[in-house]
């Protein structure tokens, strides 16, 4: 069995959960079989397992509107994925960026197609701000790929429900396979020098956020909550890679207001940091917060829990399957509109509720320590990449066998 993994993100170009997923899944699959990874970028690893080949495209002469250029650039890269011969037994797709490449491989090379749903475009309407009319294309592309796939992996039970509700896919084609974590890499690590490097006081408790500046991650709601927090504590926002100039400006304005209304220090780290530095920030934080308004899984929570840090998260998506309330952290209910199910009805209420949960834990270090230990134990018990790779390989073998017998 030889799988071909198609992805936008792969180290060193990783900025979200899908990239982390492919990074670790490919590493663990490589212990079981040969693995071919094709990604966006200039990576070129031909003498190892997995082999990794990055592709690029030249958008310098595009005259299409700017929001469409990333869409057309992705399609060009997907074509380039296929012009180099494919000798894999199955193609496995990650995010809409790779879907066109997978469809081409599936049809032209006559191999089965597996797709992992890391998020669903119909549930991310704010992407229109980033892609313009390209958002309508990604809706069509995702629907086409999902309904064509031989298997569609859901990263949580709620994601499976969303897939079955939104697409014409038989339930037996939608297995649930969780994301995972490497607990040997992500573990409690004392490294106060990293904190000092970024202006964080190692001797003062802090709340931590790590993630992209995007509507989905709810970062602006968290910033709005800061005015309700205890000013004796620090707030550390490790937040970069804004989706659009508009949300970047909104974030800047929200942080400015927070600094005026909060009596404590706010440290905003805007650059993408290394895994080593991220682990140090997790390990020293008293509480980690994930205020997402849509989160199919949320690998970031596993990272924090593996470092023995309790999590305050919005009660949405896969986070309801990761975090055990009152044991490994707290879940904050997010009121939702029927017509737009992943937007807070009252942002002020949501911000105040987030702050209440954060304050409760920040002011109880013994409870945080207890929850942190329980969180790491849960990670070790349930979210192993080695087991996830075995489940994924078994799925490859199943769809390959079905393809041969059909």
Spatial neighbors of 260 by CB under 8 A, at least 6 apart, are none
Put simply, whether the predicted model's pTM sits higher than 0.95 gets the answer: no
Helix H or strand E segment including 398 = helix 385-405
Contact 1, 397 (CB under 8 A): yes
pLDDT at 16: 81
Q: In terms of C-beta density within 10 A (0-12 exposed, 13-18 middle, 19 or more buried), how is residue 58 classed?
A: exposed
- Domain extents in the chain: 3-180+384-405, 192-382
- Per-residue pLDDT tens digits for 118-175: 999 998 888 888 899 999 999 999 999 999 999 999 999 999 999 999 999 999 999 9
Does position 344 have pLDDT exceeding 80, yes or no? no
- Report the number of secondary-structure helices (H) and strands (E) in the chain: 15, 13
Homologous superfamily of 192-382:
Glycogen Phosphorylase B; (3.40.50.2000)
Helix H or strand E segment including 24 = helix 17-29
Both tokens of 348, joined, read 């002020």
Instruction: Pick one of 2.120.10.30, 3.40.50.2000, 3.60.20.10, 3.30.70.2200 as the CATH number of 3-180+384-405.
Output: 3.40.50.2000
Both tokens of 235, joined, read 């707030």
- Per-residue pLDDT tens digits for 58-101: 999 999 999 999 999 999 999 999 999 999 999 999 999 999 99
Domains 3-180+384-405 and 192-382 share a fold: yes
Confidence label for 339 from pLDDT (cuts 50, 70 and 90): very low
């Amino acid at each position: 069995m030889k799988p071909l993994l198609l992805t936008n993100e792969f180290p060193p170009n990783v900025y979200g959960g899908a990239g982390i997923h492919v990074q670790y899944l490919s590493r663990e699959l490589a212990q079981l079989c040969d693995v071919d990874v094709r990604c966006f970028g200039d990576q070129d690893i031909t003498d190892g397992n997995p082999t990794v080949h990055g592709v690029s495209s030249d958008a310098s002469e595009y005259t299409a509107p700017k929001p469409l250029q990333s869409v057309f650039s992705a399609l060009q890269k997907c074509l380039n994925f296929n012009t180099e011969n494919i000798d894999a037994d199955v193609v496995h797709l990650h995010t809409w960026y790779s879907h066109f490449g997978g469809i081409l491989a599936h049809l032209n090379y006559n191999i089965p197609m597996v797709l992992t749903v890391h998020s669903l475009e119909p549930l991310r309407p704010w992407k229109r701000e980033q892609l313009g009319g390209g958002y309508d294309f990604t809706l069509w592309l995702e629907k086409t790929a999902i309904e064509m796939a031989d298997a569609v992996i859901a990263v949580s039970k709620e994601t499976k429900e969303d897939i079955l509700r939104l697409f014409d896919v038989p339930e037996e084609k939608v297995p649930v396979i969780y994301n995972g974590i490497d607990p040997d890499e992500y573990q409690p690590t004392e490294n106060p020098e990293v904190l000092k490097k970024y202006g964080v006081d190692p001797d003062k408790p802090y709340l931590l956020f790590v993630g992209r500046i995007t509507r989905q991650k709810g970062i602006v709601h968290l910033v709005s909550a800061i005015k309700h927090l205890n000013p004796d504590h620090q707030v550390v926002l490790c937040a970069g890679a804004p989706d659009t100039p508009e949300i970047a400006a909104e974030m800047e304005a929200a942080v400015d207001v927070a600094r005026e209304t909060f009596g404590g220090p706010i440290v905003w780290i805007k650059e993408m940091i290394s895994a080593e530095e991220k682990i140090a920030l997790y390990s020293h934080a008293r509480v980690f917060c994930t205020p997402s308004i849509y989160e199919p899984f949320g690998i970031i929570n596993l990272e924090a829990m593996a470092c023995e840090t309790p999590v305050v998260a919005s009660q949405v998506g896969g986070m309801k399957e990761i975090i055990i309330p009152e044991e490994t952290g707290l879940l904050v209910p997010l009121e939702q509109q029927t017509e737009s199910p992943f937007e807070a009805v009252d942002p002020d209420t949501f911000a105040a509720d987030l702050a209440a949960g954060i304050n409760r834990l920040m002011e109880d270090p013994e409870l945080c320590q207890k929850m942190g230990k329980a969180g790491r134990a849960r990670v070790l018990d349930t979210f192993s990449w080695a087991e996830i790779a075995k489940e994924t390989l078994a799925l490859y073998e199943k769809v390959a066998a079905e393809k041969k017998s059909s």
